[in-house]
Amino acid sequence: MGDAPEAPVKEGDTVEGRYRIIRRLDDGGMSSVFLAEHLLIKRRVAMKVLRPELAMDADVIDRFMNEARAAGTLGHPNIVESTDMGFTRDGVPYIVFEYLEGSLLTDEIYRVKGMPVRRAVRIARQIASALSAAHNAGVIHRDLKTDNVFLTDKEEAGDHVKVLDFGISRFQDTDEDRPGTRSMVMGTPQFMAPEQITDPASVDRRVDIYALGVILYEMLTARRPFNNDDTDALVKDILEASPPPLNLPDAPAGLEVMLFTKLLAKDREQRYPTMKDVEDALEAFAGLIREGRASQSIPVATRMDQSEIRKAAAAMIALTPPPPKRSSGAVWLVGALIAGITGGALMYLDGQAKGTAAEDMAQRTTAIQGGVDAIGLAIENTIRSAQMRAEGIAQTPMLRAGVETDAATVRDMVGNDFLFKPGKGEVFELIQVRDNTRTSLLKIPAGGPSLEALAAGEARVASDGTNLVATVATPIAGQSGKAAGLVELQAPVDLEAATRALAPLVFEAKLVGLGAPLVIAKSEAKDATTTTIQLPLVLKTAKAEALEVSIVTRAPGAAAGPVKSYGLARNASWGVGGLLLVVYLLLLLKGRGQR
């Protein structure tokens, strides 16, 4: 450990007469961690000691005390416990934690090259439980990541989670939350929610929800949603791009939709509002996994085919007694009762089939709504990203000066590559506005389509039947301070996540109300019975009439549904029972007449 920083303690030292240092375990940017032993009770502990050169930095001390305060007061089985704190003889603060044996979640993910869904969900539930307790106590972690999750064994049960390192946590009763207080970007970039980058002073508990989404994604895929080595490119991905798909055929239906639209949503308003909601959702998926149901489907009990119905009818006939002798009229009554009971049983199965079909439709509709939400989220993210980029371009000093001249001057002053590098499907246009007259000064790429004439600050979404694009307009202030022009930026809306969510669930999903109808997802099934429903798509920045979805209710070419067959068998059973009852009554009357 020749490169390890100098620490105020070393192997063999005794700290405050209570702890003997055994060895150094790890070094970080702020502190070193040592294995130590309490001299009186012989309990091994982990001692975290601040680096001496930082002991005079008030901000660092505050962060160090934050960790002691959080770990020492939350008292949750999935949060590492802090048992003591103090100062070395040189006045350097230290914190004592429970000593954990096991492995970091990061190491375990890459050791096994991605975890099975069951294991990943079980770990994520424990993390959610720990953070739910922290949030209820007013503590936001802000640096939740796989390096801050430790897996240990407890009572011979593996994968017991301990959440570590609350060093940059925010306490909601501190000055940092008061209006007007400045805040700096804190956290690990790959796990940061978009608002942690764009507006760090506004972060709330939903940044931890986003970070848990990154952790779950990494556990399942052994990669992070965004992990570009170029910091600028990484930030752009976090703000704009959709994560690559999971491609996990054994995952429960809806897990990917939940992960992308409720945990990793770029707009925090789209995420779960509380970590308890996350915990409940993970518990629901854990239940599906325990039951062995990889996807929602109609239970087998509702799928009685013709052969099973024939067997049921044969059993009913077998139970019907042979024609009795004159003296055995009671047998006819027993036969009538058996037929009546059989009809009642078939009626019950009929109701069960209808109820299960209705339940399946409700579950399918809920999953479809998740796909609808994914469309809205993709549109909102595209608009927000385009607005941020357009605002940055509009504030370029040379552009603000050039917009009051002419197209040739603008091209000479700013140059296409310097001003804007279009991505696939993107179009930029610089517009001069004079006396309500609009003049296009520059378009990138030059052969791009003509953009809509938008007012300053306006955003629109439109479909041409093949693609969905968002266009925004941002004003450019001239040298006089008045608006002299506009930056218009058009970007394609990435609907891949919505398509992945909807494709297994629908016959066809079509977006209407934004120009030409746009097919989002379509099944290859032919001649399928379908039900058309309309689900609203609510946008803050644009308007859509409805999302039109045709739901496949049974497989193509399937025989008539089981409900009709149950009805025929039920009616036949009751008919036989009624006939037997009539025979019994006739025999009874005849017997009385003979007397």
> What helix, strand, coil percent values describe the chain, rounded to 5?
45, 20, 35
From the list 57, 143, 204, 527, the catalytic residue is 143
Residue 16's alpha-carbon distances to 37, 40, 69, 72, 529, in angstroms, are: 12, 13, 20, 20, 78
Q: Give the relative orientation of helices 117-136 and 206-221 as an angle to the nearest 10 degrees.
A: 160
In whole angstroms, give the CA distance from residue 139 to residue 267.
21
Nearest-5° angle of CA 231, CA 232, CA 234?
60
The SS3 assignment for 530 reads strand
Instruction: Dump the DSSP string for 9-71.
Output: --TT-EETTTEEEEEEEEE-SSEEEEEEEETTT--EEEEEEE-GGGTT-HHHHHHHHHHHHHH
Quote the CA–CA distance of 237 and 221 in Å, as a whole number.
18
Q: Is 62 a catalytic residue?
A: no
Q: What span, in angstroms and rounded, lies between the C-alpha atoms of 198 and 179?
A: 17
Is the peptide bond between 445 and the residue preceding it cis, with omega within 30 degrees of 0? yes
| Burial label, 429 (beta-carbon count in 10 A; 0-12, 13-18, 19+) | buried
Antiparallel, parallel or unpaired: β 515-516 and 459-464: parallel
Shortest CA distance to 426 belongs to which of 463, 453, 386? 386
CA 314 vs CA 190, 300, 320, 573: distances in Å: 65, 21, 10, 11
Rounded-to-10 torsion of CA 166, 169, 174, 180: 160
Distance between CA atoms of 247 and 490, rounded to whole angstroms? Answer: 30
**Termini Cα distance of the chain:** 114
The residue among 235, 175, 226, 236 whose CA lies nearest residue 201 is 175
Q: Quick check: 490 and 453 in contact, CB under 8 A?
A: no
Q: Which DSSP string do the residues of 402-446 spell out, in sequence order?
A: HTTS-HHHHHHHH-HHHH----TT-EEEEEEEETTEEEEEEEEST
* Catalytic (active-site) positions: 143
